[in-house]
Amino acid sequence: MTFKTRNIILAAGAAVIVGGGAAAIAQTSPAQAGAKFSVAAERVEAQGYAILEMDRDRAGFDIEAIARDGRRMELDVDAAGKIVRERLDD
């Protein structure tokens, strides 16, 4: 796990605790949320992306990342870590 991935996981756990609300806490513990973040992050990084920012959404995650060729990209990633949409970041 890279340093950036670890920081993303820690931030995700803190976001669930601080701003997630009772429903989010009841459905997943911070450890489970961090595990899902880590799985998705590791799979995206394995495809050559350097993650800059990662946020949870209804279907999975919104990720801003740098591609191998240096382009800044926006990625839609499902809960399992599969990239379902790639587009250039504006």
Render each residue's pLDDT in the chain as its tens digit; 90 residues: 565 665 566 555 555 554 544 444 445 555 555 558 889 999 999 999 999 999 998 889 999 999 999 999 999 999 889 999 999 987
With a CB cutoff of 8 Å and minimum separation 6, the contacts of 53 are 63, 64
Helices (H), 20-60: 21-27, 30-46
Answer yes or no: pTM beyond 0.85.
Answer: no
Residue 2, SS3 per DSSP: coil
8 A C-beta contact, residue 28 and residue 37: no
CATH architecture of the domain formed by 3-88: 2-Layer Sandwich (3.30)
Q: Where are the domains of the chain?
A: 3-88
Closest CA to 82 of 39, 52, 28, 30: 39
